[in-house]
Amino acid sequence: MHVRRLELVDFRSYRAVEVDFEPGASVLVGPNGIGKTNLVEALGYIATLASHRVATDAPLVRSGAGSAVIRCTVMHDGRELLVELELVPGKANRARLGHSPVRRAREVVGALRMVLFAPEDIELVRGDPAARRRYLDDLLVARRPRFAAVCADYDRVLKQRNALLRTAQLARRSGGGADLSTLDVWDGQLAGHGAELLAGRLELAAGLAPHVAAGYDAVAGEAAGAASLRYRSSLPAAGADRDALATALAAALAQARTAEVERGVTTVGPHRDDLALTLGELPAKGYASHGECWSFAVALRLAAYRLLRADGVEPVLVLDDVFAELDTGRRDRLARSLEDATQTLVTCAVEADVPVALHGARFEVRDGEVKRV
Amino acid sequence: MYEGAIQDLIDELGRLPGVGPKSAQRIAFHLLSADPVDVNRLATTMRRVKEVVRFCTTCFNVAEEEQCRVCRDTRRSDEVLCVVEEPKDVVAIERTGEFRGRYHVLGGAINPLEGIGPDQLRIRELMARLSAGTVKELILATDPNTEGEATATYLALLVKPMGLTVTRLASGLPVGGDLEYADEITLGRAFVGRRAV
Ligand SMILES: Nc1ncnc2c1ncn2[C@@H]1O[C@H](COP(=O)(O)OP(=O)(O)O)[C@@H](O)[C@H]1O
Ligand SMILES: [Mg+2]
Ligand SMILES: [Zn+2]
């Protein structure tokens, strides 16, 4: 799959811009704040109906304008597909697919598949477990949309169960007896949805692990320590079978019950899990250097890319500001590892940072314009 | 902000479910310019609903007498009891024409976030009805969401010792539609929840 054309109207800093891309690598160069990430963000919005930077649509519309349009022509299996989104803050997006309006904007999801590395991704390595869980869950949903409902159900049950525990905790503190008659029911639901989510994540993590190791090697070189990814569950190991996991989760909840009523919060379940990322013998978080963390974050995105590609549809790979934090060796190796990708879009603030090994089209981003050079 | 009465009306309307500030304003000005006869009829109807409508003493459906129409109907079976969350669910099931038993309206679902537990629902009354021994099948028709599922599971556990047949409504793909029109989440769930035929 590749993006052939991107057109923006009143999106972020752009009044009107059109960019034509080709398969292979495209490098977008321009100074800080010129609008490189804005382009990347527009593509990401077409792919996921969300920005990787902001939670609401208002900042995406050029200040002074009432609405923004993103139009993207995607080539897939020799066919051309036009995806168009109109963003009106505070209202539902209007979407068109191949010139025809669709009933729900969600129907355009999947027309463009994209994997994005953004500088914020360093948090995947250095940040809280929540960032790593989101990385897993986003990928899970991208591959199997049903998991969007599994995640939503699990979150809802968790909120309800925590509310019940909190009420029980307060009742206990004020000396009264707590009504826990429905806790068994919520335990059952949490175990059911939790096991489903856990099974999905475990299978995904197992699939990702070899790609992460290979992706890190490809960037850091064989001489560097090996990168590994392992799912760290709050449950004792129970295999990957859904029913066995549900039994194990139910047992863990039963065991934790007294403590949970005391603390007023659910202490076991996939919402407490993490990905253990290690470099050589040491955890990446707290030990690895800035450049190593950066490389690890790149490896995580490359792994997602390889996995989706193995599923059958090759996504577009977008790397925003990826080179600045890498040494020359890593830049070159990363560039070479991109050679087999159908399409890669790379942004860079300084021309000199672009490795010579990265062949492909060059674009210059200037005030509100993107010119091929 | 408008002056006095009109702003009061906008505020009152805005408190209604599903009515935002914009709609409240539109409705208020519509009422202001409407025929006084129409407005009076609306006001009278609203007052009347509070005066005459009450809850059925048997099933807690809305009623205008001691018992609702379903409970008064002697042709219906006392052996099948369908548990729903709200009176509107009774109306929905009645429209199917498939059910000839009785109802029990819980008045909501278990929802700890909103402080609703079994004691806030009409579960004690349900247990009292069941203890008479006439009911052979209990249909749990609570909503197919987290809270509805929790309520159904809770009730199923509660009545288990009574040895009734307990059933839950089937959910899944809308029948009669094309598979391709189901969104990928609904279809994905139905696929995973497939059953032997
Ligand atoms: N809604 C908007 N309207 C106008 N300008 C915007 C809007 N949102 C962001 N910008 C401008 O876009 C620039 C940031 O662009 P960005 O693509 O992040 O830069 P970079 O090229 O460094 O990646 C900032 O100068 C910002 O002021
Ligand atoms: Mg940027
Ligand atoms: Zn009744």
Q: What is the pLDDT along chain A (373 residues), one digit of tens a residue?
A: 999 999 999 999 999 999 999 999 999 999 999 999 999 999 999 999 999 999 999 999 999 999 999 999 999 998 999 999 999 998 899 999 998 999 888 889 989 999 999 999 999 999 999 999 999 999 999 999 899 999 999 999 999 999 999 998 888 888 776 678 899 999 999 999 999 999 999 999 999 999 999 999 999 998 788 999 999 998 887 788 899 999 999 999 999 999 999 999 999 999 999 999 999 999 999 999 999 999 999 999 999 999 999 998 899 999 999 999 999 999 999 999 999 999 999 999 999 999 988 999 999 999 899 999 9
Instruction: Please indicate, yes or no, whether residues B104 and B161 belong to a single structural domain of this protein.
Output: yes
Binary contact (B112, A164; C-beta < 8 A) = yes
Tell me if the domain spanning A130-276 has CATH number 1.20.1050.90.
yes
Residue B60 falls inside a structural domain: no
| Residue of minimum CA distance from atom 11 in ligand 1 | A13
Domain ranges of chain A: 2-113+313-372, 130-276
> Which letter, b or e, does each residue of A77-90 get, where b requires 16 or more Cβ atoms within 10 Å of its Cβ?
eeeebbbbbbbeee
Nearest to B118 among A160, A161, A182 (CB): A182
**Are residues B91 and B41 part of one domain?**
no
- Read off the CATH number of the domain in which B141 is found: 3.40.1360.10
pTM above 0.90, yes or no: no
Q: What is the CATH number of the domain that holds B18?
A: 1.10.8.420
Q: What are phi and psi of A351, to 5 degrees?
A: -50, -40
Same domain, B93 and B164: yes
Which of A6, A10, A12, A323 has most ligand 1 atoms within 8 Å of CB, for mutation? A12
Domain annotation covers residue B183: no
Name the residue of A38, A57, A67 to mutate for ligand 1: max ligand atoms within 8 A of Cβ: A38
In a domain, residue B191? The reply is no
Instruction: For domain A2-113+313-372, give the CATH number.
Output: 3.40.50.300
Contacts of A164 in chain B (CB under 8 A): 112, 117
Could you tell me the CA-to-CA distances from A112 to A24, A34, B20 in Å, in that order? 16, 25, 36
Residue type, A199: A
* B116–chain A Cβ distance below 8 A for any pair: no
**Cβ of residue A156 closer than 8 Å to a chain B Cβ:** yes
Same domain, B92 and B152: yes
**Which chain B residues contact residue A153 at CB under 8 A?**
146
Give yes or no: residues B162 and B79 share one domain. Answer: yes
Ligand 2 centroid from CA A347, angstroms? 8
**Is A145 in the B-facing interface, judged by CB distances under 8 Å?**
yes
The Cα A262–Cα A266 span in angstroms is 11
CB contact under 8 A, A167 and B112: yes
The tens digit of pLDDT for each residue in B135-188 reads 999 999 999 899 999 999 999 999 999 999 999 987 766 666 666 666 777 788
The answer on B136 and B97 residing in a single domain is: yes
* ipTM confidence score: 0.77
∠ at Cα B137 (B162, B109), nearest 5°?
A: 85
Residue B178 lies inside a defined structural domain of this protein: no
Interface of B with A in 162-191 (CB under 8 A): 183-185, 188-189, 191
Residues A171/A180, Cβ–Cβ less than 8 Å: no
- In this structure, the answer to whether residues B148 and B91 fall within a common structural domain is yes
3-state secondary structure chain A: CEEEEEEEEEECCEEEEEEECCCEEEEEECCCCCCHHHHHHHHHHHHHCCCCCCCCCHHHECCCCCCEEEEEEEEECCEEEEEEEEECCCCCCEEEECCEECCCHHHHCCCCCEEEECHHHHHHHHCCHHHHHHHHHHHHHHHCCHHHHHHHHHHHHHHHHHHHHHHHHHHHHCCCCCCCCCHHHHHHHHHHHHHHHHHHHHHHHHHHHHHHHHHHHHHHCCCCCCEEEEEECCCCCCCCCHHHHHHHHHHHHHHHHHHHHHHCCCCCCHHHCEEEEEECCEECCCCCCHHHHHHHHHHHHHHHHHHHHHHCCCCEEEECCCCCCCCHHHHHHHHHHCCCCCEEEEEECCHHHCCCCCCCEEEEEECCEEEEC
Do the chains contact at B154 and A182, CB–CB below 8 Å?
yes
What per-residue confidence (pLDDT) applies to B190?
79
In a domain, B62, yes or no: no
Could you tell me if A368 and A38 are in contact, meaning their C-beta atoms sit under 8 angstroms apart? no
Ligand nearest to the CA of A56: 1
- Find out whether the beta carbon of A59 lies less than 6 Å from any atom of ligand 1: yes
- Interface membership of B120 toward A (CB under 8 Å): no
Beta carbon of A32 within 6 Å of any ligand 1 atom:
yes
Residues B120 and B81 in one domain: yes
**List of chain A residues whose C-beta atoms are within 8 Å of the C-beta of residue B147:** 160
Q: What whole-number distance in Å separates Cα of residue A301 and Cα of residue B57?
A: 62
Query: Which tokens belong to A105?
Result: 């904007």
- What residues contact residue A242 under an 8 Å CB cut-off, 6+ apart? A195, A196, A199
* Residues of chain A numbered 159-178 and touching chain B (CB < 8 Å): 159-161, 163-164, 167
CB atoms within 10 A of CB B85: 19
Contacts of residue B108, defined as CB under 8 A and 6 or more positions apart, other chains included, come to B85, B86, B116, B120, B121
Q: Ligand 1, from A9, A13, A120, A366: best to mutate by most atoms within 8 Å of Cβ?
A: A13
**DSSP-assigned states of every residue in chain B:** ---HHHHHHHHHHHTSTT--HHHHHHHHHHHHHS-HHHHHHHHHHHHHHHHH-EE-TTT--EESSSS-HHHH-TTS-SSEEEEESSHHHHHHHHHHT---SEEEE-SS--BGGGTB-GGGTTHHHHHHHHTTS---EEEE---SSHHHHHHHHHHHHHHGGGT-EEEE---SSPTTS-GGGS-HHHHHHHHHT----
Chain A: give the shortest CA distance to residue B124, in Å.
14
Q: Which residues of B touch A149 (CB under 8 A)?
A: 185, 188-189
Total domains in the fold of chain B: 2
Residue nearest to atom 15 of ligand 1 (CA): A35
Residues B158, B88 within the same domain: yes
Containing structural domain, residue B19: 4-52
Determine the atom of ligand 1 nearest the C-alpha atom of A63: 3
Answer yes or no: do B79 and B163 share one domain: yes
Query: Are B100 and B147 in the same domain?
Result: yes
Closest-approach residue (CA) in chain B for A196: B192
Beta pairing partners, A366: A369
Under a CB-based contact definition with an 8 Å cutoff, are residues A360 and A2 in contact? no
Query: Is residue B180 in a domain?
Result: no
Cβ contact B189–A188 (<8 Å): no
Q: What pLDDT digit, counting tens, does each position of B115-131 carry?
A: 999 999 999 999 999 99
pLDDT per position as a tens digit, B75-118: 999 999 999 999 999 999 999 999 999 999 999 999 999 999 99
Q: Decide: A56 in ligand 1 pocket, CB within 6 A.
A: no
Is the domain of B8 the same as that of B39? yes
